[in-house]
Chains A and B, each alone.
Chain A
Amino acid sequence: MVESGTSLEAKGVAHPLPQACWSCRGPVASGAAFCATCRALQPPAEIDHFRRFDLSPAFDLQRAEVERRYFALQRQFHPDRFAGKSATERLHSVQHATALNQAFGVLADPLLRAEYLLQLSGRPVAGGEAETVADPELLLEAMALREELAEAEDASAVAALLAKTEAMIGEIEVALSGAFASGDLAAAAGLALRFRYMRKFVEEATRRRRQIGA
């Protein structure tokens, strides 16, 4: 029996009403992966990444737990398991696998997870194509780091900069955890932006280290 639309809405599920199974046209509970009548694989539900992994939206996640859920779900929907099924089910299994990969990519990465949480909270972190930031403190820090990197002459100097930045990122993650826990989204948005700049710096420094060849 399918739950009523009202109670599903109360849980905030994206599709409050039962869908018709694409195969047998029978009712499929919102978010259900398989038709209860004919067992056909349904397309992935349009739900957020946390819900896809049956997790509550939160910054503090154990990576091991995210991985465990990811691998369990991938096993369930892996295209290999549907190799002998209809073309539609094979397509759906690929769509499930893609949705799981996208969710894992976001949930397993603290920067993307923070930005995604802000987006879900209706406070997207600055990052639109036409947006610029003019936070002098952040930019001076970013500029100073880039200048130090440009002047770094050997691998050990680059490694020292990388270690310093990685430590700063660790501090940002701790601060993000606190900001999200206390619901201070403005602080979280500022931290996420600084995180993005630090991430970019780590990428550049890593490339530089490869160029120097160490």
Chain B
Amino acid sequence: MAYSEKLIDHYENPRNVGSLDKGDADVGTGLVGAPACGDVMKLQIKVGADGIIEDAKFKTFGCGSAIASSSLVTEWVKGKTLDEAGAIRNTEIAEHLALPPVKIHCSVLAEDAIKAAIADYRAKHAPAEDASAEPQVA
């Protein structure tokens, strides 16, 4: 089975490998796993004051397709708004890298990872509803 040049390039020269400070309020962290193969993927985004993703890092322990999928996603999300980044679909990742059918789940993992990172960032910035949602006394 021949892997595409783009896939091999991302696997051999992965972009944006590393970690951002998980505790930073501007950083959202997504941690997801593929139960079928025991792979684990961490994807982090750093969001600027203008709501644009200014940096993204990943750390993936898994097969080449999982590494390439997460590497590609970190490149794609930079410069995007959270909504734009959240609209990335695994099918686009799979198509760009020409993933073979047995590796489609790696692109699903990458989509879930960016969604989880966005959700984590939003949770950090959500108004503290638990504290302020006291019913108003009429």
Contact = CB atoms under 8 A, between A and B. Distances in A.
A54 interface: no
A130 interface: yes
A127 interface: yes
Contacts of B33: 132-135, 138-139, 142, 197
Which of B35, B39, B102, B112 gathers the greatest number of chain A CB atoms within 10 Å?
Answer: B35
Contact of B112 (A126, A132, A138, A200): A132
Nearest to B31: A139
A122 interface: no
B38 A143 contact: no
Interface in B30-52: 31-40, 42
A143 B35 contact: no
Given A134-B112, A134-B116, A143-B31, A128 B40 contact: no
Interface string A154-173: 00000000000000000000
A136 B31 CA distance: 7
Contacts of A60: none
A146 interface: yes
A129 B61 CA distance: 17
B109 interface: yes
Given A139-B40, A142-B40, A204-B61, A129 B105 contact: yes
A196 interface: yes
A142 B32 CA distance: 11
B23 to A, nearest CB: 14
A204 B37 CA distance: 12
B122 interface: no
10 A-B pairs with the lowest CB-CB distances in the bound complex, closest first:
A200-B38, A146-B61, A126-B35, A133-B33, A129-B105, A132-B112, A142-B40, A127-B36, A139-B31, A127-B35
Given A127-B36, A128-B36, A143-B31, 9 more contacts: A129-B36, A129-B102, A129-B105, A132-B109, A136-B31, A139-B40, A142-B61, A147-B59, A199-B38
Interface of B: 31-40, 42, 59, 61, 102, 104-105, 108-109, 112, 116
